[in-house]
Amino acid sequence: MHPAFSVIFLTTLLGAGQGLFLALVTGQVYSRIHLIDAQSSDYYLFGSLIALALLLFGLVASFFHLGRPERAWRTASKWRTSWLSREVIVLPLLMVLVATFGLIQWMGWTTPFVVAGDNALPVDASLVVGVLGAVVAFALFVATAMIYASVKFLQEWSSPLTVFNFTFFGLASGFMLAAAYSAFLGNDLVTFFGTWAVIFTAVAFLSRGASLLRNHRIKYRSNIKTAIGVRHQGIAQTSQGFSAGSFNTREFFHHRGPDTLKVIRVLFMVLVFPVPVLLIGLAYVTKSPNLPILAFLIQYLGLVAERWYFFAEAQHPQNLYYQRVS
């Protein structure tokens, strides 16, 4: 498929924004049950503003992919059958909840109205909105990933691993950003968020590795023989002839050779997984405030490459016929 950078930035920015908000809620819950030190309202306020900005930038990026942006609102009407429609509904809902979470922190409406257990978990408005927002954030992960996983004829995408990958990449980048945000402020939550970021990065490595192995072993249901109805073993497409350069070949093909895909695959496997983990490990030892920030930036760059590869790897059935193009 043809990777569109508007969609690449949409999915990676949304993932980082969702992950950061989930990290903030996780940190708040841990502090309420006294497992980590409590943070000020300003910490959660500015953290939620960063998450909201990432979600907004992702939404803006998506408009560059639309032929008629003024008609985008119509997509919400097909929520019964379309995962894209469900994403269009869930994303603004999450943005409202993230903004509300930040507003509660800013206004100081954090007085507990009920205490669960023996003074174990004080519950206030920010905790209720945060947990509700966390549920919606996971729903958005599923909705975004299912847009691709539900396309049956693109066998590389049609797998539960697509949902796992979108979710764990978002969690890894979001918690990595939370570690970078904490390092920038100089507080002691770098180790907490950095450890979770390493865990989610490791799980994402296993999930993405499994999908790469699965896709390498795919036996395509469509090929040049099924396209023309001839079963001869020696059939090969050597030229498109007068059909070259059609709309379909431009729209559904990445226009790069196999060697480029191999380079991108190696690049994202290095940038997303080992390098950020190594930098977080060094930050533990050296107490450097810059290494977690560098770890997030490098991992995000790797995620952009990973998402490009995700789209380019998918073989549209027409590319299985036009072998010289694909």
Contact (CB, 8 A) for 239 and 160:
no
Q: What is the largest CA-CA distance in the chain?
A: 78
User: What pLDDT sits at residue 325?
Assistant: 55
Strand partners, 116: 121
pLDDT score of 242 more than 90: no
In a domain, 77, yes or no: yes
Q: Phi, psi (5° rounding) for residue 121?
A: -140, 95
Q: What is the pLDDT of residue 326?
A: 45
pLDDT at 244: 58
Q: Write down the pTM of the prediction.
A: 0.92
The stretch 191-209 carries a mean pLDDT of 97
pLDDT digits (tens, 9 = 90+) for 201-223: 999 999 999 999 999 998 887 77
pLDDT value at 199 more than 50:
yes
Please check whether residue 164 lies inside any domain of the structure: yes
Q: What is the pLDDT of residues 95-111, one digit of tens each?
A: 999 999 999 999 988 88
Torsion angle defined by CA atoms of residues 122, 126, 131 and 137, in that order, rounded to the nearest 10 degrees: -160
User: Is 302 inside a domain boundary?
Assistant: yes
Parent domain of 83: 5-219+241-320
Residue 226 lies in a domain: no
225 is a domain residue? no
Q: Report the phi/psi class of residue 119: left, alpha or beta, with left for phi > 0 and alpha for psi in -120 to 50.
A: left
CATH code of the domain in which 36 resides: 1.20.1630.10
The rounded distance, in Å, linking the Cα atoms of 236 and 59 is 43
Count of structural domains, the chain:
1
Q: Taking all residues of the chain, what is their mean pLDDT, rounded to a whole number?
A: 90
Helix (H, G, I), strand (E, B), or coil: what is residue 121?
strand
236: in domain: no
**Tokens 């023309």 sit on residue:** 228
- Whole-angstrom Cα distance, residue 12 to residue 14? 5
Residue 239 above 70 pLDDT? no
Residue 156 lies in a domain: yes
Give the pLDDT score at 115: 80
Query: Alpha helix (H) ranges present in the chain?
Result: 5-32, 41-63, 83-107, 125-149, 160-185, 190-216, 224-228, 247-251, 258-272, 274-286, 291-313, 317-321
Q: Where does the pLDDT of residue 323 fall: very low under 50, low under 70, confident under 90, or very high at 90 and above? A: low
Helix, coil or strand: residue 85: helix
CA distance 213 to 168: 18
Q: Within a domain: residue 235?
A: no
Task: Summarize the confidence of residues 282-290 as an average pLDDT.
Answer: 92
Q: Is the pLDDT of residue 93 over 60?
A: yes
